């Protein structure tokens, strides 16, 4: 996943977040700030100390996680919101598969029958509300 972060009004940076980094970030968004040991418990048995440390270091270098070294053990905190990351992920998905068009995405889902009747009704209602605004 790419995240574009604007630093002091300069041109946004594009940063890639892997699926594994996303899992770690989810923990920080939900529970953070957390220590490395707390993260290891949340991330299940398949994550060892070195793996967690490596991903924390990468995310810190990318400017997405901050390390509080004033406390022992150190605590880690997300510097970018989940909402910003989701927004960027959505845009990357649209750009990659639908030439940046949300309309093409919705059309594809409707034509392929991927929307339930309730979802279609909700979509109709949303479009009507937008027409009246």
Per-residue pLDDT of the chain (133 residues; tens, 9 = 90+): 555 554 444 334 566 789 999 999 999 999 989 999 999 999 887 788 999 999 999 999 999 999 999 999 999 999 999 998 898 888 888 988 999 898 898 888 888 888 888 988 998 899 899 888 7
The count of other CB atoms within 10 Å of the CB of residue 78 is 21
Instruction: Give yes or no for a cis peptide into 33 (omega within 30° of 0).
Output: yes
30 phi and psi, to 5 degrees? -80, -45
Cβ–Cβ < 8 Å for 59, 25? yes
């Amino acid at each position: 996943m790419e995240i574009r972060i604007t630093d002091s009004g300069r041109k946004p940076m594009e940063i890639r977040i892997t699926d594994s980094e996303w899992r770690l970030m989810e923990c920080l968004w939900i529970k953070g700030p957390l220590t490395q040991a707390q993260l290891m418990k949340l991330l299940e048995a398949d994550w060892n100390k070195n793996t967690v440390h490596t991903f924390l270091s990468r995310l810190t270098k990318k400017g997405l996680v901050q390390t509080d070294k004033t406390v022992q053990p150190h605590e880690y905190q997300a510097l970018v919101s989940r909402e910003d990351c989701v927004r960027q992920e959505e845009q990357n998905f649209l750009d990659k598969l639908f030439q940046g068009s949300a309309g093409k995405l919705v059309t594809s889902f409707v034509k392929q029958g991927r929307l339930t009747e309730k979802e279609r009704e909700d979509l109709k209602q949303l479009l009507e509300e937008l027409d009246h605004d």
